[in-house]
């Protein structure tokens, strides 16, 4: 492809309030003159002698991160109780410390979007202060009136008794009674101005959960930014949020939703079809970009627009851009779940520049799925410039790249590269097509598949299928290549056929063309080699998981991994 679609994200970005960023992209935190700076040190602190400071009264005046010999509190609960609702007060926990507490900790909101209340760390080093709740109902909460103008930055939330690999593991309650990591409930007044950055959150029920009063979108969250966190081994979702406007960028997700593969006998820790890296019901004005997500229980990014009685538009303005997906079963599910089959449910959806590889490789739920993007009931949308790359085998036989379903209109599927997906040549085990449309009792209008490279050497996967005889779907300027026998190359209205018959039925002006690429051998492993790192899957995971607080390596961003693979898949 000579060019790739790049969506304009500025209308969505304009709804989010970044704090100023430093040269490495971290948010710069600055206390106000009247901020209470409340320090916590579980070893050297003393609740009886602790002092609440302002920036000017610190031993090292105006240096909140290296404050000097402060008189700190010993326990987090007592320290946090000194924050005031509606003030830019800070709680700062000693780096390298462990803070254990029971009960629910509600953090009050700040004064304004520029004068936020803050939970963060102080002291030297890159080891985050670790919060280890002692019971299932213990969690960090942003709640009700406090759902305005807050920052949580540079901490660890890690209930060790919920980690089967840790010595504190409680086999009776570790799966059942897990707390949520960061829990956000906005109450009847809504919520806005929340930043969650540079945190490590692991082994919670849902690692980050933001929920509104109802799924219809009343009192929804706005201006919720989740960036540069590491989120792993949730029991449920890595992030779950309903009725929210979110910016989710530059995070790493690993192994969320499961501990063991189904069938291993560990019932509570087994993968299910219901648990994912990101799960967003009814969320509007969403931008998800430059994240790396690895090995979820089922789906990397799942969005829903559920309806009752009749279909209505519940989700609008979503961009999923330049993310890297590896493992799991499905990369992006942008359709389900409850559908009345009588109209569109989504408007202006865009999925662009993402790369999906090794889908289905671990078969977490024992299903045989390797699905790229499902789009259903879209009124206006773009699936463009994505790479579907090297997945499917003799076990993962239900491989596909893009499916457009239901009551969809004005959707462009363009400039995507689909390379080596499906079961190997000669196995005859593929039960799907690389591209497909399914009516689902709906009608499609102005759906265009154009300029896609569907290149399937060494697999038996069919390039494309139209599962019902549909009007309103156009195929043009695609390049198809497959080892599937040419008489059964395509499927139209349930019948397999050759290219000429397919063209006669659909009007497709595309060609059977094998494309030569600059370097088709490129993968994320060759990218590791290119930056001087050990080129193994485990090392890739380790590099993503083991970054300390404030440590950022731009070479490990999704956009650079994707660019490496994309450059190799540029036609000669």
For residue 219, pLDDT beyond 80: no
Q: What is the mean pLDDT of residues 355-370?
A: 95
Q: Are residues 171 and 228 in the same domain?
A: yes
pLDDT band at residue 266, thresholds of 50, 70 and 90?
A: low
- Domain membership flag for residue 200: yes
Asked if 196 and 152 touch (Cβ cutoff 8 Å), the reply is yes
The two beta strands, 346-352 and 315-321, are parallel
- Domain membership flag for residue 286: no
- Domain membership flag for residue 4: no
Q: What is the tens place of the pLDDT at every residue in 440-456? A: 666 899 999 999 999 99
Q: What is the mean pLDDT of residues 10-26?
A: 96
Of 474, 498, 515, the residue that ends a domain is 515
Q: What is the tens place of the pLDDT at every residue in 372-392? A: 999 999 999 999 999 999 999
Q: Are residues 309 and 431 in the same domain?
A: yes
Q: Are residues 334 and 213 in the same domain?
A: no
- Domain membership flag for residue 290: no
- Please count the structural domains in the chain: 3
Q: Are residues 505 and 559 in the same domain?
A: no
Q: Are residues 464 and 532 in the same domain?
A: no
Q: Name the residue with higher pLDDT: 267 or 243.
A: 243
Q: Are residues 469 and 534 in the same domain?
A: no
- Domain membership flag for residue 274: no
Q: Residue 335 pairs with which residues in a beta bridge?
A: 304
Q: What is the mean pLDDT of residues 202-210?
A: 95
For residue 560, pLDDT beyond 70: yes
The phi, psi pair for 376, rounded to 5°, reads: -135, 130
For residue 152, pLDDT beyond 80: yes
Query: 3-class secondary structure for 384-413?
Result: ECCEEEEECCCCCCEEEEEEEECCCEEEEE
pLDDT value of position 215: 56
- Domain membership flag for residue 483: yes
pLDDT value of position 58: 98
The two beta strands, 479-482 and 490-492, are unpaired
pLDDT value of position 229: 98
d(CA 200, CA 192): 22
The length of the chain, given as a count of residues? 572
pLDDT value of position 1: 34
Task: Please report the DSSP string for 407-470 in residue order.
Answer: S-EEEEEES-EEEEESSBTT-----SEEEEEE-TT---EEEEEES-EEEETTB--EEEEESS--
Alpha helices in 105-167 (DSSP H): none
Average pLDDT for the chain: 92
For residue 217, pLDDT beyond 60: no
Q: What is the tens place of the pLDDT at every residue in 402-421? A: 999 999 999 999 999 999 99
Of 232, 247, 262, the residue that ends a domain is 247
Least confident of 19-23, 98-102, 540-544: 98-102
- Domain membership flag for residue 404: yes
pLDDT value of position 5: 64
Q: Are residues 418 and 480 in the same domain?
A: yes
pLDDT band at residue 4, thresholds of 50, 70 and 90?
A: low
pLDDT band at residue 79, thresholds of 50, 70 and 90?
A: very high
For residue 513, pLDDT beyond 50: yes
Q: Are residues 444 and 540 in the same domain?
A: no
Percentage of residues in the chain having pLDDT higher than 90: 77
Q: Are residues 397 and 356 in the same domain?
A: yes
Q: What is the mean pLDDT of residues 126-140?
A: 88
Q: Name the residue with higher pLDDT: 504 or 429.
A: 504
Q: What is the mean pLDDT of residues 349-361?
A: 97
Q: Are residues 503 and 537 in the same domain?
A: no
- Domain membership flag for residue 278: no
CA dihedral 358, 364, 369, 373 (to 10 degrees): -70
Domain coverage including residue 338: 298-515
pLDDT value of position 440: 63
Q: Are residues 326 and 210 in the same domain?
A: no
Of 497, 515, 533, the residue that ends a domain is 515
pLDDT value of position 102: 83
pLDDT value of position 2: 36
d(CA 83, CA 61): 20
For the ranges 105-109, 301-305, 492-496, the one whose mean pLDDT is highest: 301-305
Q: Are residues 201 and 341 in the same domain?
A: no
pLDDT value of position 424: 87
Q: What is the tens place of the pLDDT at every residue in 176-195? A: 889 999 999 887 777 899 99
> Between the CA of residue 419 and those of 46, 390, 497, 520, what are the distances in Å?
61, 6, 22, 9
Q: What is the tens place of the pLDDT at every residue in 276-315? A: 999 999 999 999 999 999 999 999 999 999 998 999 999 9
For residue 126, pLDDT beyond 90: yes
Q: What is the mean pLDDT of residues 566-571?
A: 97
pLDDT value of position 218: 62
């Amino acid at each position: 492809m000579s060019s790739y679609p790049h969506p304009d994200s500025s209308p969505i970005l304009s709804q989010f309030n970044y704090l100023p960023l430093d040269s490495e992209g971290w948010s710069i935190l600055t206390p106000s003159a009247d901020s209470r700076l409340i320090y916590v040190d579980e070893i050297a602190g003393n609740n009886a002698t602790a002092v609440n400071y302002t920036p000017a009264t610190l031993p090292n005046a105006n240096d909140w991160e290296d404050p000097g010999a402060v008189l700190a509190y010993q326990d987090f609960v007592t320290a946090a109780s000194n924050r005031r609702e509606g003030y830019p007060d800070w709680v700062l926990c000693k780096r390298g410390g462990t803070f254990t507490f029971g009960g629910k900790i509600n953090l009050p909101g700040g004064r304004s979007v520029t004068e936020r209340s803050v939970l963060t760390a102080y002291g030297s080093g890159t080891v985050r202060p670790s919060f280890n709740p002692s019971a299932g109902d213990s969690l960090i909460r942003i709640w009700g009136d406090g759902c305005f103008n807050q920052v949580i930055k540079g901490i660890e939330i890690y209930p060790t008794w919920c980690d089967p690999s840790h010595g504190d593991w409680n086999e009776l309650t570790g799966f059942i009674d897990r707390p949520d990591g960061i829990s956000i409930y906005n109450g009847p007044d809504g919520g806005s101005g929340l930043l969650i950055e540079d945190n490590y959150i692991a082994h919670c029920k849902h690692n980050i959960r933001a929920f509104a009063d109802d799924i219809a979108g009343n009192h929804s969250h706005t201006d919720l930014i989740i960036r540069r966190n590491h989120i792993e081994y949730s029991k449920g979702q890595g992030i779950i949020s309903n009725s929210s406007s979110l910016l989710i960028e530059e995070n790493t997700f690993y192994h969320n939703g499961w501990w063991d593969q189904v069938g291993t006998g560990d019932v509570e820790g087994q993968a299910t079809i219901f648990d994912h890296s990101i799960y967003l019901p009814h969320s509007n004005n969403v931008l998800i970009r430059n994240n790396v997500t690895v090995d979820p229980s089922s789906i990397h990014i799942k969005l829903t627009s559920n309806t009752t009685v009749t279909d209505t538009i519940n989700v609008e303005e979503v961009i999923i851009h330049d993310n890297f997906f590896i493992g799991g079963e499905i990369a992006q599910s942008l359709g389900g779940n409850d559908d009345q089959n009588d109209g569109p449910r989504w408007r202006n959806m865009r999925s662009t520049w993402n790369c999906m590889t090794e889908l289905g490789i671990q078969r977490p739920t024992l299903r045989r799925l390797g699905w790229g993007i499902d789009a259903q009931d879209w009124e206006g949308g773009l699936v463009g410039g994505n790479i579907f790359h090297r997945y499917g085998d003799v076990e993962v036989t239900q491989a596909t790249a893009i499916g457009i379903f239901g009551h969809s209109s004005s959707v462009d599927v363009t400039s995507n590269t689909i390379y080596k997906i499906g079961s190997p040549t000669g196995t005859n085990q593929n039960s799907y097509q690389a591209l497909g449309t399914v009516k689902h009792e709906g009608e499609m209008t102005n759906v265009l598949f154009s300029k896609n490279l569907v290149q399937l050497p060494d697999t038996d996967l069919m390039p494309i299928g139209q599962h019902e005889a549909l009007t309103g779907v156009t195929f043009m300027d695609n390049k198809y290549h497959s080892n599937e026998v040419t008489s059964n190359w395509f499927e139209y209205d349930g019948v397999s056929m050759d290219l000429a018959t397919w063209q006669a039925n659909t009007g497709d002006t595309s060609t059977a063309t094998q494309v030569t690429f600059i370097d088709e051998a490129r993968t994320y492993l060759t990218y590791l080699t290119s930056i001087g790192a050990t080129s193994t899957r485990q090392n890739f995971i380790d590099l993503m998981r083991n970054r300390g607080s404030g440590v950022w390596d731009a070479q490990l961003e999704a956009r650079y991994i994707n660019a490496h693979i994309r450059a190799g898949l540029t036609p000669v």
